Structure 1
C-alpha cells in the first residue's frame, strides 16, 4: 500500500520554516490487479468508443491532418492553462510562423512556456506508435523539451535527487500542500510506472488515468511534471492504438474543471488501501467523462471548420488542384501563413503561392494587420475565431460562447 513517511527539514533561510513534514510514497502499480466497477467500466467503454469514432473519421475523411495539428495545439495549450500559463492563440501561431521564416521575435515567459509545451506534445505523439514501448528516457526527453530555453533548462529531463514539494513556499516543505516521495524512491517508482504503462491489461482510458495520477504523485522532475504527465496520457493512447491519427484535447477538458481534477488526483494519495481503491474508481470515472467531453469538442470543432471551409470555397471558387485550392485545404491547421510557408504547404512556386494568397485576401479568407504586414504574415481569422471558441466552450453553459459568457476562466474572444 502507499505510505506516508516523516522527514525533517532544516531550513537554511529565515524565509522557510524548519520542522517535520510528511512525504507520500505511492504503492507500485506493475502487476497489481485493478478491476473496474461496472458503471465505471461502462464509462470507459463509451470513452474508448468515442475516441475510436474520432480516429476513424480522421482516417476516412479528407484533409483531417491539418485539424489534427490544431487539436494537438489545443491540447498543449490546455495543459499549459492548468498550470496557470496562458498565452493568446494568435500570438502563438504567429510566433511559430516567424520561427519557420527565421525572423527574429520576442516572446514573454508565458508564451515561451506554451511554445515549449507544443513542442513537447508534438514530440510525445510523434515518437510513439501503436505497440511502441514507453520508456523512462522518453519521459526525460519530453520534460527536457518542456524546460528548454527557460530558467530551469539545465534541470530538464533530470530525475530529481532532492526533495521537492507542491504549494507552501519556495524554501521549505513544512506546511506544503503535497510532498512527494523522497529522492531515493523516485527511480524505482518511475521504472514501475513505465512497466505498468507498457504491460497492464487495462483499457487505454483507465490505464492513462491511473498512470497520470501515479506520475503526478511521484513528481519526478524539477518542473513541468503536470505537463509531462498529461503528455504521457496521449502517449498511452498512441501506444494502445486508441488515438493514432488525431489528438482528443483531454487537457482542455480538464482545464475547465481544475478543482475537481486536483481533487481526484489528491484522493488517489492515501495509506488506506480501501480508500485508494475507491479513489481509483472515481479517478477513472472522472477521466473517462473528460475524454468523452474532449471527443465531443473535437467533433464540434471539425464540423464548424467544415462549414468555414465550405464558405471559403463559395467565395473563392478555386480551380481544382490550383495553389488556392490546395491552400484552402491546409489553412485550418496553418491559420497563419507567409508566402514561403504557403508555397511549402501547397507544393507550388513562390509566385503561385503569392497569387493564391492575393486571391484569398481579396475574398476575405485571409487578412493582414499592421503588425503582420512588417513580417509579411497573413491570418485566417475564421479559423482563429473557431479555435478560440473551442477553448472557451467547455466553460460556457450549453457550450455556445456566442449566446452565453464562460462561467470559468477562458481565453479572450478578441485577438
Structure 2
C-alpha cells in the first residue's frame, strides 16, 4: 500500500499584531485564509521500501550495531564525547555553531556565548531522550522539549504550541510559506499517533526511526526546537529499539553533511514518498559511523601521547584525572573533584599534568576561577565538527 501524502485544510489566520496599530503596508497580513497540512495517521501503517533501499538499511544497521559493540568496553570517554558531538551537530543543522572549547566552558556555567549555551541545553535534551528511551510517549517528548528550552523567555518549554507555525518567507504570516504545519488543535492527537508508531516492535528499525522522525517534523508540535527535539527522539528510538546500547551514534552529523538532501527528503515524505528520508537516514548512519571512528582513533592517539608524556606510578591519581579529561576536556578543580567523588587532592594532579604539557590552565573571568583544558581532545572534537559540515 502506498504511503499516504499529507492533505490540507483551509484555516483563518489573524496576526498577533492585530489591534496594535501596525503600519498600513502590513495591514494586509492581519487576517486572511491559508491552507495548513493535515498529516495522515500512521500508527497502524506499514512502511514499505524498495529492495535496494532495504539492502542499504540492512548494511547501515549492521554498521551501527558493530560500531556500538566495539565501544562497549570503553564507554566512559566516548559515550560523553559522542553525545555532545551529536548535540552540536543537531544544533548546527539549525545554524547554531560553537567551538568545542566554548561548549564545554558553557557546561561549567559560562553563559556569555548564546550558541554554546543552547548547544549545552541540546546536550541535556539528548541525554533526557536516552533516559526516556524505554518510555516513548507524548509525555517523554514534552520532557525532552522542556529540557531543551528550559528558561527560554520567548517559547513555552515542554508545551504543545497553541498557534500556527510555518516554514519560509514571512515571519508575520503563513501566506506563501513553503510548508504550514497542522492546526495546533490537531497536535496532541497526531503526536500520540506517531508515538504509537514509534513503540511498535514489528517494523524494520531504521525505517521506523526515519519515518517517525519525518512524521514528527511534519507535525511540528512546538513553536521552536522541533528539529532538535525530533533528532533527540531519533536517538531515543536508536536506544529503545536496541540499535545502540552503549554510545550515541552522531547521526545528526551525518545529516549535516547534506542538509539540503535532508530537507528535500522531509519534503518528499509529505508527498507520500518515504524512500528519500529512509535513504538519507541510512546514509547519514554510515557517515556518522565513519566520522565517529576517526574521532575515536584521534582520542586514542591523544591518550597514547599522554602515556608517553606523563611520568607517574601506575597507581597515581593523575591517571584517574586523565580518565575524566578524556570525556570532559575543559574542567575546573571543583568539577573534577565532583566527578572523582572528592577523594583526592586534585590540584596536585592538575599541576603535574600542566607541567607535563598535557593540560593548559587559564583564569576564566566569567567563571571566576581557573579552568584547565586539553587542547588535544578539543582539536579532535573540532575536527569531527569540520568533517560533519563537509559536503560530499
Corresponding residue number in structure 2 for 1:340: 334
**Cα distance 1:221–1:179, how it changes in 2: closer, same or farther (>3 A)?**
same
Runs of 4+ in structure 1 off by over 6 angstroms are none
Report the alpha carbon displacement of residue 213 of structure 1 after superposing the two structures with TM. Answer: 0.5
Q: Among residues 59, 72, 80, which one is paired with 1:69 in the alignment?
A: 80
Corresponding residue number in structure 2 for 1:402: none
Greater shift, 219-228 or 182-191, is seen at 182-191
Per-residue CA deviation, residues 253-312 of structure 1 (Å, 9 max, x unaligned), is 212211111111011112xxxxx1xx2012101110101110111111111111110111
Partners in 2 of 1:342 and 1:6 — Cα distance?
A: 57
Q: Among residues 6, 12, 17, which one is paired with 2:10 in the alignment?
A: 6
Report the alpha carbon displacement of residue 214 of structure 1 after superposing the two structures with TM. Answer: 0.4
Corresponding residue number in structure 1 for 2:180: 179
Partners in 1 of 2:389 and 2:219 — Cα distance?
A: 30
- Check the 8 A contact 1:3/1:27 in 2, yes or no: yes
Report the alpha carbon displacement of residue 108 of structure 1 after superposing the two structures with TM. Answer: 3.8
Q: Which runs of 5+ in 1 are unaligned?
A: 100-104, 271-275, 397-406, 409-415
Report the alpha carbon displacement of residue 207 of structure 1 after superposing the two structures with TM. Answer: 1.1
TM-score, normalised via structure 2 length:
0.91
Corresponding residue number in structure 1 for 2:310: 316
Corresponding residue number in structure 2 for 1:269: 270
Q: Among residues 96, 101, 114, which one is paired with 1:85 in the alignment?
A: 96
Partners in 2 of 1:385 and 1:170 — Cα distance?
A: 38
Report the alpha carbon displacement of residue 354 of structure 1 after superposing the two structures with TM. Answer: 1.4
Corresponding residue number in structure 1 for 2:221: 220
Report the alpha carbon displacement of residue 348 of structure 1 after superposing the two structures with TM. Answer: 5.8
Whether 1:118 and 2:131 are equivalent positions in the alignment is no
Give matches, 1:6-405, under 5 Å: 6-11=10-15, 12=18, 13=22, 15=26, 17=29, 18-59=31-72, 61-62=73-74, 64-97=75-108, 99=109, 105-128=110-133, 132-153=134-155, 155-199=156-200, 201-270=202-271, 276=272, 279-347=273-341, 349-351=343-345, 353-371=346-364, 375-396=369-390
Partners in 1 of 2:112 and 2:323 — Cα distance?
A: 30
Aligned residues: CA RMSD: 2.0
- Check the 8 A contact 1:116/1:146 in 2, yes or no: yes
Partners in 2 of 1:348 and 1:188 — Cα distance?
A: 49
Q: Which runs of 5+ in 2 are unaligned?
A: none
- Check the 8 A contact 2:187/2:221 in 1, yes or no: yes
TM-score, normalised via structure 1 length:
0.86
Report the alpha carbon displacement of residue 36 of structure 1 after superposing the two structures with TM. Answer: 2.1
